[in-house]
Amino acid sequence: MVNIKQILIASAAAVATLAGVPAQAQAYPSKSVRFVVTYPAGGSSDVMARIIGKKLTEYWGQNVLLESRPGAAGAVGMEYAAKQAPDGYTFLLGNFGPVVANPLLNKVKYDVDKEFVPVSQITRAANILVTPNTLPVKSVKDIIALAKKQPGVLTYATSGPGSMSHLVGEMFKRNAQVDIVTVPFQGGVYSIAAVQGGHIMLMFSDAPPVMGNIKAGKLKALAVTSGQRTPFNPELPTMAEQGLKGFDAANWWGIMFPAGVQKAMIDKVSTDLKRALGDEEVKRNLGLMAIEAVYSTPEEFGAFIKSERKLWGDVIREAKISGNQ
C-alpha cells in the first residue's frame, strides 16, 4: 500500500533541497573579493579597477578589495594570481601587456591559456599618432610619403622595447611599408617631450598624456590607431581611413579568474560586469581617461585574446623584437 504521508514528507524534503540550490548560487559572493592589479597604484589600471570594483561592491553588498602586485611588466601580478585558490574570491585585471605582449617577448612563469579563464574584456584605449608642430605634414598619407622619400631618416619614439607605442610603430612600418627608425626612451614622459621638442618626428601615444599638449597646440594629432573613431576624439580619423586598410590597434583590459573556478561563478561575474559597463557613471569616469567601456562574453574574450596573440606575434617576429633589446 502506498503511504501518502511518506510521499508527502519525501516530496517536501526534495522541494527544500531544490530550493536550497539557487539560494546558495545567489549568495555568491558571500564575502569580500580580492581584485589583483598588475600595475602600481595611481596608474590607469588602478583607477579603472577602482571604478569597476566600486560598482561591483554596490551590486554584491560585499567589498571588492584591490590588491596591487606590480613588477616585471605585469608578470609579478600574473604569477601571483595564477597561484590563488580557484574559489571565485580572487580575480585579476589583465591587459594587453602581461596577457599578450610579455609572454611573446619574454620567458614568463605563467601560462595564460592553462592557468587563467577569461571572464570579460572591460575596456579599450586607442593610441594617437602625434608629430611636432614643426613637421610639414597634415595626414598619415603625408607621413608615409615623407618616409618613402627619405627612407631610414624619419624617427619615432617609444616608451621602451615591447611597449604598445613600440609595437604599434612596427605595425605601422609593416602596413605602410616604410623604413623609419625606432628611438626607445625610458618611459612615455621622455618620449613625448622628445617629440614635442622636435627631436623625434612621431609617436604613437596613449591619449591622456598628450591631449593637453594637443589642445595647447604643442603637438599635432593625425590619427587614432583603433578600427573606429573614438568618442573622445571624434574629429580624428583612423589609420584605416587614411589608407592603411585593416589597421586596428588599441590597448585593452579584461577580467580573468584563476583556472578552475566554477562556471556559475564566472557567469555571475560576467553578468554583473555587463551591467556595470553599461552604467553611465562608469562610462563617464572611464571616459575621463579616454578609455572606452567594452563588454564581451567569456567565450568572446577568450577568442579575442587568441586573435591578439596571433596579430602581435606576427608583428614581433617580422620586426625581430625581443624583450631584452
Same domain, residue pair 119 and 161:
no
CB-CB contact of 44 with 282 (8 Å): no
The pLDDT value given to residue 162: 87
Same domain, residue pair 213 and 107:
no
Give residue 323's pLDDT band: very low, low, confident or very high (50, 70, 90). low
Residue that finishes a domain, picked among 225, 242, 259:
242
Residues in the chain: 325
Same domain, residue pair 196 and 217:
yes
Tell me if the bond preceding 136 is cis, omega within 30° of 0: no
Give residue 187's pLDDT band: very low, low, confident or very high (50, 70, 90). confident
The pLDDT value given to residue 26: 57
Q: Is residue 10 part of a domain?
A: no
Residue that finishes a domain, picked among 220, 242, 264:
242
Backbone phi, psi, residue 181, to 5°: -100, 130
Round to whole Å and give the CA distance between 261 and 255.
13
Span of 51-55, 70-74, 118-122, 262-266 with lowest mean pLDDT: 70-74
Same domain, residue pair 202 and 98:
no
Which CATH number is 68's domain given? 3.40.190.150
Looking at the chain, the whole-number percentage of residues with pLDDT higher than 70 is 91
Residue type, position 61, single letter: G
250 strand-pairing partners: 126
CB-CB contact of 154 with 180 (8 Å): yes
The pLDDT value given to residue 11: 36
Same domain, residue pair 226 and 133:
yes
Same domain, residue pair 237 and 254:
no
The pLDDT value given to residue 1: 42
Looking at the chain, the whole-number percentage of residues with pLDDT higher than 90 is 85
The predicted-structure confidence for 33-49, as pLDDT tens digits, reads as follows 999 999 999 889 999 99
Place of cell 562610462: 283
183 strand-pairing partners: 157
Residue that finishes a domain, picked among 212, 242, 272:
242
Same domain, residue pair 95 and 148:
no
Give residue 159's pLDDT band: very low, low, confident or very high (50, 70, 90). confident
Structural element, H or E, at residue 219: strand 219-224
CB-CB contact of 157 with 188 (8 Å): no
Residue 182 C-beta-side C-alpha neighbours within 13 Å: 21
Compute the average pLDDT of residues 273-287.
97
Compute the average pLDDT of residues 258-281.
98
Compute the average pLDDT of residues 222-232.
95
- Report the mean per-residue pLDDT for the chain: 90
Closest CA to 182 of 211, 152, 210: 152
The pLDDT value given to residue 22: 44
Residues near 231 by beta carbon (within 8 Å), at least 6 away in sequence: 287, 292
What is the number of H-type helices and E-type strands within the chain? 13, 10
pLDDT at 3 over 70: no
Residue 230 C-beta-side C-alpha neighbours within 13 Å: 26
Round to whole Å and give the CA distance between 115 and 83.
8
pLDDT at 4 over 80: no
Closest CA to 132 of 70, 75, 214: 214
Same domain, residue pair 93 and 158:
no
Domain count, the chain: 2
The pLDDT value given to residue 226: 95
Round to whole Å and give the CA distance between 80 and 66.
14
Same domain, residue pair 44 and 191:
no
Same domain, residue pair 55 and 111:
yes
Same domain, residue pair 159 and 308:
no
CB-CB contact of 95 with 251 (8 Å): yes
193: domain range? Answer: 126-242
Compute the average pLDDT of residues 218-228.
96
Q: Is residue 66 part of a domain?
A: yes
Please work out, in degrees rounded to the nearest 5, the angle formed at the alpha carbon of residue 10 by the alpha carbons of 8 and 11: 65
